[in-house]
Amino acid sequence: MQDYKAFLDNGIDEIHSGKFKKGIENINKSLELKNDWEIPYFFRAVAYHALGNYDEAMLDYTKALQFNEKMTDAYYNRARIILTRKDIENPDINQAVKDLEKALELDAKFIDAMYALAAAHKKLGNYTEALKHLDKLLEIEPEAVNARALKKLLLQKYIK
């Protein structure tokens, strides 16, 4: 019998090397042998995400979370897809907010998730909520340039 772990390890190595299609092939072989845990789904989602196959990535991030609801990066990456896709007319920003809040519940100092949550609230028109998350981020990372810029924009343009 072939070893699912060897296929998975090779797939992860290829993904880290930017060989996403080859990584997916190996992870698929791994999943044929063992498909009841989160790791292969998460890494295949990362590869699909990098290739711009967002629907497949969303399905795999969701599948990974079904096996392990504490995968902070899966929540964050799923939210990022929702917030950055240009091919969907009305993305579900509220779902992105839920995913980012869950990521922050699991890791209260996840700065990228804080920034993304502030950006999501800005898109929803919740400017004071966005400011709250930016202030929390800037307490942790005072030199966060993007957070400072977004805060300045909110204060100058949206909050009078």
Query: Residue 104 is part of which domain span?
Result: 96-160
**Is residue 137 in some structural domain?**
yes
What's the number of domains the chain is made of? Answer: 2
In 3D, which of 32, 41, 39, 43 has the Cα closest to residue 1?
A: 32
Q: What is the pLDDT of residues 92-122, one digit of tens each?
A: 999 999 999 999 999 999 999 999 999 999 9
In 3D, which of 85, 6, 67, 11 has the Cα closest to residue 44?
A: 11
pTM value > 0.95: no
Q: Could you tell me what percent of the chain has a pLDDT over 70?
A: 99
Predicted local confidence at residue 159, as pLDDT: 83
Residue 1 has pLDDT above 70, yes or no: no
For 121, counting Cβ atoms within 10 Å of its Cβ (0-12 exposed, 13-18 middle, 19+ buried), the class is buried
Residue 139 has pLDDT above 70, yes or no: yes
**Is residue 90 in some structural domain?**
no
**Is residue 84 in some structural domain?**
no
**Is residue 79 in some structural domain?**
no
Q: What CATH number should be reported for the domain holding residue 144?
A: 1.25.40.10
Q: Across residues 127-134, what is the average pLDDT?
A: 96
Q: Across residues 85-96, what is the average pLDDT?
A: 91
**Is residue 25 in some structural domain?**
yes
**Is residue 149 in some structural domain?**
yes
Predicted local confidence at residue 87, as pLDDT: 85
**Is residue 133 in some structural domain?**
yes
Predicted local confidence at residue 93, as pLDDT: 96
Among 69, 86, 111, where does a domain finish? 69
72 contact partners, CB below 8 Å, separation of at least 6: 103, 106, 107, 110, 113
**Is residue 76 in some structural domain?**
no
Q: Could you tell me what percent of the chain has a pLDDT over 90?
A: 93
